[in-house]
Chain A
Amino acid sequence: MAAYLIRRLATLPLLLLGISGVSFVLLNLAPGDPAEIVLRQRNPGQALNPTAVTAMRTELGLDAPLPVQYVRWVSQAIAGNLGRSYVTEQPVARQLARRTVPTALLTAAALTLALLVAVPMGILSARQRGSPVDTVARLVALVGAAAPSYALAYGLIILFAVKLSWLPAFGYGSAAQVVLPAIALSLAPMAQLMRLIRASMLETLGQDYIRTARAKGLSERTVAFGHALRNALLPAIGATGVSLGYLLSGAVIVETIFTWPGLGQLMVGAALARDYPVVQGFVTYIAVVVLLVNLIADIALRVADPRLRFGREGM
């Protein structure tokens, strides 16, 4: 376990370098001169002055070769400095920090909701395969995978905020304002988790040790909850780590719709304005979060599943 942890922790910086490098190169290969973009942002409607462009290129450090720029960016990033936004001229790191709490709140609420529905429904639909419960669960999974979060979000707003006026549609600050965005965000991971738990429970129920447990005369209840559940939920731990990716992708859109002041909204604004330092900082930050959460999920999986600890230590 210790050796495994050390190996995983050692690869983290490499992965981060890789992802930030890919996005750095992509952003710099893109057509258009960032110096011109900055000048257009700051003096809208004015003609570009070639000397001002050259001066801005020097100011932004764009006159250095690309590898030098990247090394400079990395050494600053390690010190916690992700540069300044082209548009607001504020430090990127501070903007990211300020918007982390709203996004964390929203994704945590959505993930909790997804798990609260997906785990019991997945188990129930596997135990009563072919029953009406199973049909409903599979329908929810199907709809959840196909419904675009943006259309769903507007459906919720139209129904609960416009027609019924039960809940506020926009804004951030009160508990009631979390409800609609959390529901809109939770449906896709909910569908995915439910599908997975159902399949994994079905597979576990077909195992030999389950047949043995049944042959011993244990009740169907004890077999399902005492023997099968533990193993059936293992893939869900890994999937929870993966669904963070879905949640963060979804948050980009859901935050924009509900004017939720989180990271997603920041990223969309930055992408539309071609505010490269913010895009680059955001991509790196998300990479850190995703890699750390997946690492935690992997460790949790090893703690919960002794087969991984002893059987395949080489993995």
Chain B
Amino acid sequence: MGKQDHTGRLRSEVDALVAQNQFQAAVLRLRDLWQYESGTAAAAFVVSRFEQLRNKIPLANVRLAILRSFTVEPLVPLLRAEAFCAGINVSVQLGDFNAYGQEILDSQSMLYRFAPDLVILAVQTTDLAPDLWRDYAQLSDEAVSEAVSRVAGTMQQWINEFRARSQAALILHNLEQPSGPALGVLDGQREPSQSGAIHRINQDLRRAVSATRGVYLLDYDALVARHGRVSWRDERKWLMARLPIAADKLIHMAREWLRFLMPLAGKSAKALVVDLDNTLWGGVIGEDGFSGIRLNAEYPGAAYQALQRAILDLTRKGILIAIASKNNPDDAMEVLEKHPEMLLRPKHFAAIRISWNDKVQGLREIASELNIGIDSLAFLDDNSYEREQVRAILPEVTVLALPEDPLGYASAVRDHPVFERLNLSEEDRQRAGFYAEQRERSRAEQSFASKEDFYRYLEQEAEIVPAEASTLTRISQLTQKTNQFNVSTRRYTEQQIADFTRRPGWQVLSIRVRDRFGDHGLVGIAITQDQDEVCEIDTFLLSCRVIGRTVETALLAHIAHSARCRGCKRLAGWFLPTKKNLPARDFFRQHGFEQSKQNGNGTLWSLDLTRQEIAAPEWVRVKTLAGESQ
């Protein structure tokens, strides 16, 4: 059998590459193998080989605790294989069967001692509400509503108790409906009903989750429905091994978990770069012409419109879109601007590269124009040659696999976990517009003789205020995503940020920048801690959108000034170098700091506040809670 030869060969190739220290190539082969054969056996192989590679390749680390009422052991290798292929090393701790109640309540439990980044609470309807699941037909109306409040109350209590003891993210499975109601079609005719009761619990749960930071709902009921209730559950395995999910459905559970892991591990694409011919429309514009390409609401043009809609939806999650196409620019732009069936227009794209250069170069240019890392790009192209070239030369780019049939393109985009987001800030919703403003700024910049003249013309205004409830999402997001102008690259969850704001001696400041072209939104953060007359900068970062416009100096000057007012004698901060934060390397030196300590991780810089000042740039108007300056 050809397939068997292929998987056997991929395995041998992986082992040969590992033996030759060709780690990156081994990772590519492992991803191929996993894409080709994502099952229980391959998962064991993929995980064991990634374990060998773990210290040789860059991986994000996530500690995951799973609290459960059923057997999840076979899911763990599937999840770890998926996560490894996405660049994440997940360490998993499993709670004992049905011990989740005690584990959550006991601050000394195995759960909290493990210090997880993320906790999944996977509990089934049959365990939590056996009366509603199994005995529904025998219940009185009062017993039904009592069961609903009992279960919803219990879950709410878990959320509260957990949050009181841990800052980790919590993911709660909601409750699945039985595949057939106990009373048959009669269930649809009554109030209360069995399905209505479970639905009410899930609604309460949704409310509870949205009211608590860092607690997320996994819509298990919808997941089961999507894959078919009848075939999802395996009653025999449930009775035999407490495993309720059928063998061929386990991978879907693992992938659903991955959707939460990816954004929490900072593995999110910031931009999707798309091809044009045979991707955004059917056919080749240079050959088929404006009226010959396939794009409309009927078959086969509908497949391409569906893809465009999926891409447009990404922009509402704050994901930028860009074009890399080998084409005659005039032909392609005419379609983008004028084709009546196009949903995507030039204004939606943050960067456009239409030329005869190769895609690798296009992707590099786009990353640099948008000021984001190559590893923040996802790439969509119908041409498998282009995809393979990008995978081989730029392995850090997420290359989307596309099915043969264009009707599958839209779901390839919608279902990809690299586009998952757990929170949405106001900045996310407006991001596409920021880049259009940015293009105008760059144009203006070129018309000024000196930088200072340009800064004056910009009329920048910086609002520096302490973190508040409404900005925690954005602040945490910036610590997770900012790689370049970031002195310490410390990643924090919303809960951790909230915790800092309550600690004595700690300050969490955010900076919002506006100029004559528009509002950049909340683009920078500084976190400081006062101790023994030293104000230490824990975090200082600025979004790439505003680097080099001197607002970083305005923020630092504000910090120095207020530290002095609080009686601090020194201002200090570590610069911890990473592969990406070169733009922040000279930040402290340039503002008069001196090196005071050095170790394997970085350099501690220090400024004597009793003798030195940091001058705020005259062209940035600063607004603080205390009022305006300049």
Co-complex (A, B)? no
Residues of B within 8 A of A (CB): none
